[in-house]
Amino acid sequence: MKSGLIISTRTQLYLGAGTILTCVIIVIMSGIVGTQQIDEIYAKIEQSNKISKMLTEMKADQNRNHSLALQMVMTSDINQRIELENEIRTKADEITTFHGNMEQLLLTTPETLVKYKEVEALFAEYRKNREHQIMLLKEGKTNEAIVLTTMTQMPLYKKLLSNINTIQADLAAKTEELTIEATNVSKSARIGIWIPGAISMVVVGLMVAWAIWVIRSLIKGITKGINILDITSNEILTTATEVSTGATETATSVAETTTTIEEVRQTSQLANKKAIKVLENSQKASEVAENGKSSVMKTIEGMQRIKAQMDLIAESIVQLADQSRVIGDITTTVNDLADQSNLLAVNAAIEAAKAGEQGRGFAVVAQEIRSLAEQSKKSTSQVKDILNEVQKSVSHAVMATEQGSKAVENGSALANESGEVIELLAETVEEAAQSALQISSSTNEQMAGMDQIVPAMENIKQASEQNVIGTRQTQTIAANLSTLGETLKITIKKFKV
């Protein structure tokens, strides 16, 4: 915010008006003063003009006088002289009257008065000399009169004229000065009018601009307010509508809830019945579990017997394996014996050969022994093959019995586990029975609760109906507000700056 805006609008208005008023007063004052001054100056100028005019007349009179005096001197006619003398006297009197007037006029300007006094003195001297001249003429001393006229009166007359001219020049100069002064005064008066005038114009312009600005900002503020009003009323309307919708929904929900409560009540009745049934069933189930438990115990015993049998079988098989190994050793021995028999037979044959014809029979025997040895070797190798098969079977049997005993172990473990499971099941069934009992009592309580809920729902229904009425009123009010906003908007639009 600018510092200028801190001053209140009223103060600003007063300030503006005061400035304009002051300026107008200054204009008027300076006009009056200037006119007065100029009037005074013009009076002075008029006066000096008057004086100058009078002096000119005086000069003319003097001229006339002087020329009359000269004519008097020149003429020889006495009548004419007397006429001239009379005329001179009249003129001289006129001049004397002038003198009196002039002195009065020149009271304000002492310098001019002094100079005029000198002129008067010269007049006096001139008159004195002229009297003398007239007297001379009367006496008939014309020559002397001419001398006096030419020698004395002429310079005096000239001096007199020149003095009057000087005074006139002074007066003219003074008039000039006064004219200049009047011009200056009018100039200053013009300045005194123009400057305040200009100031007041500027102030008026500023005030107008400021007023426009103020009104504009006012309109802007009002428009903003109207907009806010519009939005707010719309929001209120929307909210009221929502509330109304919500109330309607509430009514629907209440109706639904009431229906649901009835359903729940029926359901809980059903649940109660079911729970009682569960209780009966669980008692049966626990009997069954007891039976299952004893069966499992029997199974475990059977398994243990099987295990003992399996152990016996395994022992027998191990014995069998040992014995077959012994048989293998024996066959190896038999094989060795056969080999040795073979060699013996060969050696016997060799010996028989050495014996020549005598050993022929022996050679045959040796041959037979040899073939027996071969047969026994073949048989041992067959036995060996069979024995290998037997050993393989034995090892298979060993493995099978091991697997069997393992399976038995697993079986008994499983049987144990199932025993535990059945026990757990029995416990669970017991818990289920208790739960069913609790469910039964709970459903009873539930039914009682449902009966209490029904009137509560009725209350809610009434409250929501009242709510609907209230929101309708609110809607009307909001609509009115909106209309007001519209009206204000139109008004403000008309008021455009």
Q: Applying CB under 8 A, does 361 fall inside the site for another protein?
A: yes
Closest CB 332 distance from another protein, rounded Å? 14
**Rounded Cα–Cα distance for residues 475 and 469 (Å):** 10
> Residues 427, 430, 431, 432: is their CA dihedral positive or negative?
positive
Please state the closest distance from residue 400 (CB atom) to another protein, in A: 38
CB nearer to another protein: give 94 or 339: 339
199, 318, 327, 365: which one binds another protein (CB under 8 A): 365
Paired tokens of 465: 């109906």
Nearer to another protein, 170 or 339 (CB): 339
Q: Could you tell me which stretch among 147-155, 358-366, 424-432, 479-487 binds another protein (CB under 8 A)?
A: 358-366
Of 143 and 358, which has the nearer Cβ to another protein?
A: 358
Give the nearer residue to another protein in terms of CB position, either 87 or 339: 339
Site for another protein in 209-248 (CB under 8 A): none
The torsion of the CA quartet 202, 207, 209, 214, rounded to 10 degrees, works out to 160
Instruction: Provide, rounded to whole angstroms, the least separation between the CB of residue 364 and another protein.
Output: 4
**Other CB atoms within 10 Å distance of the CB of residue 138:** 13
- Rounded Cα gap, residues 69 and 130, in angstroms: 8
Q: How far is CA 224 from the centre of its chain?
A: 16
Q: Is 355 in the site for another protein (CB under 8 A)?
A: no
Total of residues contacting another protein (CB under 8 A): 19
Provide the minimum distance between the beta carbon of 328 and another protein in the complex, in angstroms, as a whole number.
20
Smallest separation, CB 343 to another protein (Å)? 5
Question: CA-CA distance, 129 to 145, in Å (whole number)?
Answer: 10
Asked if 364 interacts with another protein (CB under 8 A), we say: yes
- Nearer CB in complex with another protein: 253/376: 376
User: Of 92 and 366, which CB lies nearer to another protein in the complex structure?
Assistant: 366
The answer to whether residue 368 forms part of the interface with another protein (CB under 8 A) is: yes
Considering the rule CB under 8 A, would residue 376 count as an interface residue with another protein?
A: no
Nearer to another protein, 351 or 458 (CB): 351
Q: Residue 54, interface with another protein (CB under 8 A)?
A: no
Stretch 164-183 residues interacting with another protein (CB under 8 A): none
Nearer to another protein, 184 or 340 (CB): 340
Residue closer to another protein by CB (options 259, 371) is 371
CB of 372 to another protein, least distance (A): 11
Distance of CA 229 to the CA centre of its chain: 21
Question: Does residue 370 belong to the site contacting another protein (CB under 8 A)?
Answer: yes
CA distances from 90 to 81, 138, 190 (A): 14, 19, 52
Tokens 């007049």 map to which residue? 123
Residues of span 292-351 touching another protein by CB under 8 A: 339-340, 342-343, 345-347, 349-350
Least separation, in Å, of the C-beta of 376 and another protein?
16
Q: Does 378 contact another protein by CB under 8 A?
A: no
380 binding another protein? (CB under 8 A): no
**50 binds another protein per the rule CB under 8 A:** no
424 is an interface residue for another protein by CB under 8 A: no
Residue nearer to another protein on the CB measure, 273 or 360: 360
In the complex, which residues of this chain contact another protein (CB under 8 A)? 339-340, 342-343, 345-347, 349-350, 353-354, 360-361, 363-365, 367-368, 370
